[in-house]
Amino acid sequence: MQRRTRKSRAKVPEVRAADLQPDKLEAEREALLQRLAFLGENAKTHRGYETARRLLNQKFRKSTLVARLGILQAASFMIDVLERSLPFM
């Protein structure tokens, strides 16, 4: 009988100092807020809209620089889902 070997752990991507510049993170946040606003009135009734808005406002402001990077990624994903699920106007 063959012995099982442990799978190597997935490598966590390194956070570079260039990714943690506050001005760069704020510019990305503004771009995501514009994408969210572009979705229109129909999207405001969707639960994901509120989640993305909360991530980009309350959670973003209260978090550390490293956490902000993750929050922006999560908000971007949520906006992608909204863009694909809502009918285009």
Percent of the chain's residues with pLDDT above 70: 76
Query: Is the separation of the CB atoms in 82 and 43 below 8 Å?
Result: yes
pTM of the model: 0.76
> Residue 71: which domain range?
22-85
Q: Is residue 79 part of a domain?
A: yes
Question: How many domains in the chain?
Answer: 1
Identify the pLDDT of residue 19. 65
Q: Is residue 47 part of a domain?
A: yes
Residue 68 has φ and ψ, to the nearest 5°, of: -60, -35
Residue 14 has φ and ψ, to the nearest 5°, of: -75, 145
Q: Which of 16-20, 26-30, 65-69 has the lowest mean pLDDT?
A: 16-20
Q: What is the pLDDT of residues 61-79, one digit of tens each?
A: 999 998 999 999 999 999 9
CA dist., res. 60 & res. 39, Å (int): 21
Q: Is residue 1 part of a domain?
A: no
Identify the pLDDT of residue 57. 96
Neighbours of 42 (CB within 10 A): 12
